[in-house]
């Protein structure tokens, strides 16, 4: 599992991940074909989309392998979501 916290300054419309501006945030290194569960907390007072380049999130629910896959998920304000994904794409 990997914890990610969204934060930022809405007056300047600057978003950050783990207290780093998005462009300066560390890359998430994942071994090829490894399944990973993210724990994403949105500390902002606005909805915020999350997207992983080249990957789809699997929305974890009672449907297991038949749970929906999404390219972008929207995390609501002050909420935690726990999507999973498979590291099946090479590169950034």
Domains of the chain: 2-86 (2.60.40.420)
In contact, 73 and 83? CB cutoff 8 Å: yes
* pLDDT tens series, the chain, 92 aa: 677 777 776 666 666 777 776 666 666 777 888 888 888 888 888 888 888 777 888 887 777 777 788 889 898 999 988 888 887 776 65
**CA distances to 11, 12, 50 from 72, in Å:** 24, 23, 6
Q: What pLDDT does 53 receive? A: 76
Q: What pLDDT does 17 receive? A: 73
In this structure, what token pair is assigned to residue 56?
A: 């789809």
Q: What pLDDT does 7 receive? A: 75
Model pTM score: 0.71
Residue with tokens 């080249």: 54
């Amino acid at each position: 599992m990997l914890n990610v916290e969204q934060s930022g300054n809405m007056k300047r419309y600057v978003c950050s991940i783990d207290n780093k501006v998005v462009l300066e945030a560390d890359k998430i290194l994942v071994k090829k074909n490894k399944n990973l569960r993210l724990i994403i907390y949105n500390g902002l007072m606005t909805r915020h989309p999350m997207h992983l380049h080249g990957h789809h999130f699997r929305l974890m629910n009672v449907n297991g392998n038949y749970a929906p896959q999404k390219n972008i998920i929207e995390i609501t304000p002050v909420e935690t979501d726990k999507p999973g994904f498979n590291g099946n794409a090479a590169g950034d």
